[in-house]
Amino acid sequence: MTDSASSDSSRLRRFLPAPDRVREQARSVVPKVKARARLLRRKLRDVELSDETDALDALDTEFVEDGARTVTDTDVETVVEEADAIEERFRNNGPLRRLLDDGQLLLDLVRDVRRGAYQRVPLWTLSAAVFALLYVLNPLDLIPDTLPIVGVLDDAAVVSACLALLEQDLYDYRAWRQEAASASTEAKESPS
């Protein structure tokens, strides 16, 4: 690593929370995500919507905000453990396929935060991303995924609402990833 890259890295470290603190915060989030999934399932059983259009209209940023408030540590773990299945849902469903890159970005964010590599994310942002990804994973959501085409429109609506809420944080995360990739490339290219 070059001296300037080393000093840049040192300057950045002082702004990042300690990895133990991030792990502790993540542990407090996981039980909330599971609780939110249970609450969502109960809520969906109680909701009587006249048709799928009404259901889709209910899936806005407020829906994601409400869901994010109840995310638990267990839910974060579930997203990390089921990442391949979530990616598969994005790849294999028409309306979600258009959101594949953004879905992958959300998954990468959760993974990087979970392993302590990225620490500049507000807890609320992590919760919203986890909620949206769990919604995609759950086949028995507001509009069951067994209904052709319409069944995944609600998933796409929730992911889109999440992306709208997290736009700046995702922009910051993308920039961090580019910085990390550049630093890694520079480290490989510089003579030892």
User: What pLDDT is stored for residue 86 in this prediction?
Assistant: 94
> pLDDT, tens digit, for every residue of 22-52?
566 656 555 555 555 555 555 555 555 445 5
Below-50 pLDDT ranges, the chain? 1, 5, 8-9, 12, 49-50
Query: In the structure, how many helices (H) and strands (E) does the chain have?
Result: 11, 1
* Per-residue pLDDT, 147: 75
Q: What is the pLDDT of residue 152?
A: 82
- pLDDT score for 49: 45
* Tokens standing for residue 126: 């992590």
pLDDT digit string, tens, across residues 136-147? 998 877 777 777
Q: Using CB atoms within 10 A of its CB, is residue 97 exposed (0-12), middle (13-18) or buried (19+)?
A: middle
Is residue 34 within 8 A of residue 131, CB to CB? The reply is no
